[in-house]
Amino acid sequence: MKLVFLDKATLGNDINLNLFNKFGEVKIYETTTKEQSLSRVKNCDIVITNKVVITKEIMDNSSIKLICIAATGTNNVDLEYAKSRGIQVKNVSNYSTSSVAQHTFALALELIEKTNYYTDYVKNGNWEKSKIFTHIEKPFNELENKNWGIIGLGSIGKKVATIAKSFDCNVSYYSTSNMNKDTNYKMLSLKELLKTSDIISIHCPLNDNTYKLLNKSNLHTIKDGAILLNLGRGGIINESDLAETLDSKDLYCGLDVLEIEPIQKNNPLNFIKNKHKLIITPHIGWSSIEARNRLVVGIIKNIEEYLK
């Protein structure tokens, strides 16, 4: 079998891919452009891709038999067309649940406790000049008894809910599909969740129901002083409306995803006045070492199942 990995750089340099050699000849590319895709997959049996798009043209002009997506999302492959061509497509689910949940709390706790401000206070030599033992210029709150609202109570949302409960938060959720009826937590309308939550975390998929779910029509209804976290997909929040809201009301925000990644120079979030109210990380929530190793194991299992 001939295998090709089109965008190995998305998995980092600390992950061992030697296990793929047992399947046959392996070609690994750090990144692949749209123009390079067809020539690189043309004579391969198995294609491994994270974000490189496999188009109808590529499927029509190659010998691909199996597409392994190094992620959970499958929007970079036309699944129906692949099926019509007899090409199997396999993704990996639930490998990053713990990692994303952990990053959710990393963002939440930074925004709540303002840790960067206090560590900078020490690093800049200000504490050593102090006449008292402490410095509480930026007051912070506890998570206990805060209302934590979750948008999208899938596997990641449930993990976040469990951790939030361990902090003694009051957990509620909004089901974007209106099909989740989890009786462990209170289900609210989106309007009620935004109005009553102290922390709001987004963990739902991006689809027709969730595209720009949060926008100028409802962002202003979020409770004053609340924290908004997006660990789902960037398109769920209208970024122009969010930038305007961050400068016009008492709202704090942590984002690990944006609609266009990497961030563009002209993204309105780059130009907000109140920069201390926003944290953006470069889509790393999924990528703990453990999660990336689980992802590789999942890809290998998918290939093994195909070859049975």
Task: Write out the catalytic residue numbers.
Answer: 233, 261, 283
What one-letter code names the amino acid at 254? Answer: G
Per the CB < 8 A criterion, the answer to whether 301 and 94 are in contact is no
Mapped onto helix, strand or coil, the DSSP state of residue 239 is helix
Alpha carbon distances (Å) from 129 to 137, 139, 300: 15, 20, 57
What is the token pair recorded at 186?
Answer: 């209170």
Cβ atoms 201, 148 nearer than 8 A: yes
Q: Do the beta carbons of residue 156 and residue 150 sit within 8 Å?
A: no
Helix (H/G/I), strand (E/B), else coil: 88: strand
> How far is Cα 301 from Cα 307, in angstroms, rounded to an integer?
10
Residue 210: name the closest of 234, 194, 227 by CA: 234
C-alpha to C-alpha distance for 198 and 205, rounded to whole angstroms: 22
Between CA 217 and CA 107 the distance in angstroms is: 25
